[in-house]
């Protein structure tokens, strides 16, 4: 049952109202209390403390503010109409009207939150679209730059080839006008004649003249051959990617989270395998580990009991009793979310529901319902207690606990 805060101070001007909800001790409004401000309704919820106010006249909730300082909440409320109020709170005794004002305020807040969420989603899509368009423009500009470089290289190569052809044509023309060619022909004829006559002198002269002509032609060719083209290189850089999709088409945050979970799972498997190698044959028996954990639980050593159940689950993860016992340990250690997970896992393994596993299913529902109630989720906890009571209708203890939870829900409402 909540503890109502009735103490507050307030002052006003024709357009603004200042309200202060003080805390009487250090633990009153510790942490981050739930502060709700609507048109005609204020609420400060810091379990188990609760403050509610039904205002005298409407306020502009968009311009109104609230701040938490030294365990107290200070409201600055902007009036919709400039006027002096007779009192801060409206004269209300009709509970139905008060409940209607609460519901209207919550519905309006939900509607406003949904509109803001939709607006943020549209803005996010627009930003993603703009980012994608900018990326595509950058890639298009890069492709265009590369194509221009290729075109420049192609033109340069074409010009060098044309220049080489022109030089080759000039060389051919020079060779056609070369006087050594006619000398060579006459020398060849003389050489043939001298050879037939056996004249060695004429042959040696012809050989010397031909040698000088060949040296001149080779030197001319060396001058006309174009120089080698300049070599160039284009540097390409690829983004390292684990996934085969393009970076702009993938969700980096989800991929990194998946990779991190995979690495943690591999480390956990390697650690568990290393631990199993060092165990004796007796310690590798899940039943022996379960009994060990039960003894630790009975002596109040809940951390050691959790370690025993953990090792037993590593060896055999299909035994519901291991998850049930570990859920009980987590309840004692106030690890409520882990208790929820273990109870749910036990219920998944206790299928199909048969009379032989009825007792285990009752324990799983009760422990999960207890964890829900400890988290102040009384509606979910009541569902688990009712499920356990359906299995064992004659269990008075479960029926009494379910009735307590039902009264707690009614008091909260």
Instruction: Say what the pLDDT of residue 114 is.
Output: 86
**Band of residue 400 on the pLDDT scale cut at 50, 70, 90:** very high
Instruction: Say what the pLDDT of residue 206 is.
Output: 47
For residue 51, what are the CA distances in angstroms to 70, 135, 142, 219, 225? 17, 52, 62, 107, 98
Per the prediction, the chain carries an average pLDDT of 79
Q: Which residue has the higher pLDDT, 50 or 342?
A: 342
The single residue listed with the structure tokens 């290729």 is: 150
pLDDT in tens, 161-219: 988 888 888 888 877 765 554 455 455 555 555 555 554 444 445 455 445 555 555 55
**243 pLDDT more than 70:** no
pLDDT in tens, 369-379: 999 999 888 89
User: Cβ(167)–Cβ(224) under 8 Å?
Assistant: yes
| Percent above pLDDT 90 for the chain | 23
Task: Average the pLDDT over 18-32 and give the result.
Answer: 66
**294 pLDDT more than 70:** yes
Q: Which residue has the higher pLDDT, 141 or 244?
A: 141
Q: In whole angstroms, what is the distance from residue 88 CA to residue 285 CA?
A: 69
User: Cβ(59)–Cβ(77) under 8 Å?
Assistant: yes
Instruction: Say what the pLDDT of residue 202 is.
Output: 47
pLDDT in tens, 57-115: 888 888 888 888 777 888 898 888 888 888 888 876 677 777 888 788 888 888 888 88
Q: In whole angstroms, what is the distance from residue 307 CA to residue 329 CA?
A: 10
**Band of residue 246 on the pLDDT scale cut at 50, 70, 90:** low
């Amino acid at each position: 049952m909540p503890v109502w805060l009735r103490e507050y101070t307030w002052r006003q001007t024709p357009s603004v109202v200042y309200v202060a909800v003080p805390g009487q001790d250090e633990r009153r409004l510790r942490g981050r209390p739930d502060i709700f401000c609507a048109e005609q309704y204020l609420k400060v919820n810091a379990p188990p403390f609760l403050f509610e106010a039904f205002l005298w006249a409407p306020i502009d909730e968009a311009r109104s503010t609230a701040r938490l300082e030294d365990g107290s909440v200070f409201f600055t409320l902007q009036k919709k109409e400039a006027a002096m109020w007779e009192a801060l709170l409206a004269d209300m005794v009709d509970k139905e009207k008060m409940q209607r004002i609460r519901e209207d305020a919550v519905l309006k807040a939900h509607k406003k939150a949904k509109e803001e969420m939709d607006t943020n989603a549209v803005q996010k899509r627009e930003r993603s679209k703009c980012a994608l368009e900018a990326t595509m423009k950058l890639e298009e500009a890069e492709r265009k730059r590369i194509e221009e470089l290729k075109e420049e290289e192609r033109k340069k190569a074409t010009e060098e080839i044309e220049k080489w052809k022109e030089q080759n044509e000039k060389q051919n023309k020079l060779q056609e006008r070369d006087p050594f060619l006619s000398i060579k022909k006459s020398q060849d004829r003389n050489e043939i004649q001298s050879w037939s006559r056996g004249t060695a002198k004429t042959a040696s002269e012809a050989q010397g003249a031909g040698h000088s002509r060949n040296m001149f032609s080779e030197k001319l060719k060396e001058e006309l051959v174009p120089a080698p083209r300049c070599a160039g290189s284009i540097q390409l850089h690829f983004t390292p990617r684990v996934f085969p999709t393009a970076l702009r088409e993938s969700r980096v945050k989800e991929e990194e989270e998946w990779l991190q979970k995979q690495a943690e799972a591999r480390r956990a498997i390697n650690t568990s395998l290393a631990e199993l190698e060092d165990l004796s044959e007796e310690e590798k028996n899940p039943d022996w580990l379960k009994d060990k954990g039960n003894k630790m639980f009975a002596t109040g050593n809940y951390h050691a009991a959790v370690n025993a159940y953990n090792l037993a689950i590593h060896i055999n993860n299909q035994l519901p009793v291991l998850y049930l016992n570990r859920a009980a340990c987590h309840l004692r250690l106030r690890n409520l979310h882990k208790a929820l997970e273990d109870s749910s896992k036990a219920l998944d393994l206790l299928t199909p529901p048969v009379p032989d596993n009825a007792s285990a299913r009752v324990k799983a529902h009760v422990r999960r319902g207890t964890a829900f109630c400890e988290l102040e989720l009384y509606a979910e906890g009541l569902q688990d207690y009712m499920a356990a009571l359906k299995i064992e209708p004659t269990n008075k203890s479960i029926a009494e606990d379910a009735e307590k939870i039902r009264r707690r829900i009614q008091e909260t409402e």
